[in-house]
């Protein structure tokens, strides 16, 4: 198949994709919002009063969904101002991201000490004695794929390790981490890494994730 034919087929699929149309209708920046929604509907990840950290957040659809869900939950709490979320969302990415109401965004690399300190300052108040205060870490991060399986697996594994390390340092013991990964070379190693950190580890393949895609999601809950 020629590259032009492939691009035309992808564009046609994209334009006809029901989730793309739903995203446009619902005001989401990407169809990825529905992947998180489906997993959240199944696993009840987002709860009132939570602190949620979205790693690799751009363009922002996961942060948008988390914010909308916390606004819904805020309606049940008379102490929450109408239209405001019952919880806190902090997003971070190397790339710029357009503002989202009630979401604190930091542009930078959380592997760098200075950026990590900025992130912790946003997450925690000065009175916090225990830094493990995050309830949910989300990561829809993916590397730029080269098509070379071994190299791509290494890049994906590295991102998974980064999310795991961050979660070990900042999650509450009853917290959760949800990441994107890909079936294939390196996947079983990521699962094993999760099992060393979390009591419950479960793969998730939402219907919004295209069947022909190797993309899957891995959920870890309750730190060991």
Give me the active site residues, please.
Answer: 180
Angle at which helices 18-26 and 3-16 cross, to 10°: 50
> What is the separation of C-alpha 84 from the centre of its chain, rounded to a whole number of angstroms?
21
Residue-wise DSSP of 87-119: EEEEEEESS-----TTEEEEES-TTSHHHHHHH
Report how far residue 134's alpha carbon sits from residue 53's, in angstroms, rounded to the nearest whole number: 7
Residue 206 tokens, joined: 């939402």
Sequence-distant (≥ 6) Cβ neighbours of residue 128 within 8 angstroms: none
> Which uninterrupted H or E stretch holds 180?
strand 171-182
Q: How many residues does the chain have?
A: 224
Please tell me what DSSP assigns to residue 81.
P
| Closest-CA residue to 196 (of 161, 172, 156) | 161
């Amino acid at each position: 198949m020629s590259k032009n034919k492939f691009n035309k087929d992808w564009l046609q699929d994209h334009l006809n994709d029901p989730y793309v149309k739903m995203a446009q209708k619902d005001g989401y920046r990407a169809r990825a919002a529905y992947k998180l929604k489906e997993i959240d509907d199944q696993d009840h990840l987002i709860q009132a009063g939570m602190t949620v950290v979205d790693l690799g957040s751009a363009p922002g659809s996961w942060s948008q969904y988390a914010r909308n869900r916390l606004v819904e939950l805020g309606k049940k709490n008379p102490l929450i101002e109408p239209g405001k979320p019952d919880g806190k969302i902090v997003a971070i990415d190397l790339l710029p991201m357009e503002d989202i109401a009630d979401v604190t965004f930091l542009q930078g690399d959380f592997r760098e000490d200075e950026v990590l300190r900025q992130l912790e300052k946003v997450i925690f108040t000065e009175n916090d004695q225990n830094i493990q205060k995050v309830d949910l870490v989300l990561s829809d991060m993916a590397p730029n794929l080269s098509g070379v399986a071994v190299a791509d697996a290494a890049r994906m594994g590295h991102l998974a390790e980064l999310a795991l390390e961050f979660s070990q340092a900042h999650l509450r013991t009853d917290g959760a981490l949800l990441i994107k990964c890909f079936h294939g070379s390196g996947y079983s190693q990521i699962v094993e890494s999760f099992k060393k950190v979390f009591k419950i580890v479960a793969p998730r393949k939402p219907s919004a994730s295209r069947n022909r895609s190797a993309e899957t999601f891995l959920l870890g809950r309750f730190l060991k």
